[in-house]
Amino acid sequence: MKQPMKQNTLQHLAIIMDGNGRWAKNQGLARVKGHEKGAEVVREITTYCANHPSIETLTLYAFSTENWKRPKLEVEFLMQLLDKWLKNELEAYQKNGVRFQAIGDMSRFSKKLQKRITDTQEATKENAKLTQILALNYGSRAEIVGAVNRALADGEEITEQSIGKYLQTPYSDIDLLIRTSGELRISNYLLWQLSYSELYFTDSLWPDFSPQELEGIIANFEGRQRRFGGV
């Protein structure tokens, strides 16, 4: 486990990766080219976080439950891109000591993609430098409802602790949420875990986001005063 280096330590970072389509439009390219470029940035940011002295978990919003509303061809491309990306990324996961996990409802994915996700989780489960969580077909309200129902089915009293235990994500509060592309909303993402998170919104489109910008945002985070409801 990485050791905290500062009093205001960043251990769990969450990012809403937004702006692939607008980046492609600005470049005069098809939207799918924005998604391909965005996947490259995922690799760069994950590598940075794996080598950061305090970050233990990186949770990325990759595909929401609402994203099925996009054009069918774009959705199909995204599914193919995810499968290809996980296949090609396995070597980098192992090299950088990254444990891969996925949260969300995988049942709508093809059997091939479901197997790819499961196999990648299994192959990287012993890696310990960083846990990268991809939120796939994920919606936070559905996650919370599911946690409550599972707790009730097991005969547990509904408390903050019992709900937290049954969430898909580990019961680890998010220290910092970043959203790219200038949008100022959290889009049904990790609502429970974000209760006392610091928020940072950048105008950078996700394909333009860089480890250097992330480093500056982390410095901003470390300089904030977190009260957690106190004074």
- Give helix 31-50 / helix 72-96 axis angle, nearest 10°: 20
User: Residue 171: is its pLDDT beyond 70?
Assistant: no
Q: State the pTM of this model.
A: 0.92
Q: Give catalytic residue positions.
A: 18, 67
Beta strands (DSSP E) in 78-230 are 98-103, 130-138, 176-179, 198-201
Q: What are phi and psi of 89, to 5 degrees?
A: -85, -10
Mean pLDDT in residue range 45-49: 98
Three-state SS for 35-86 is HHHHHHHHHHHHHHHHCCCCCCEEEEEEEEHHHHHCCHHHHHHHHHHHHHHH
pLDDT of residue 60: 97
170: confidence class by pLDDT, cuts 50, 70, 90? low
**Least confident window among 6-10, 142-146, 195-199:** 6-10
- If pLDDT is split at 50, 70 and 90, which confidence band does 158 have? very high
Mean pLDDT of the chain: 93
Specify the pLDDT at position 198.
96
Tokens of 170: 């580990």
Does 6 score more than 80 pLDDT?
no
pLDDT of residue 11: 96
| 99-105 average pLDDT score | 96
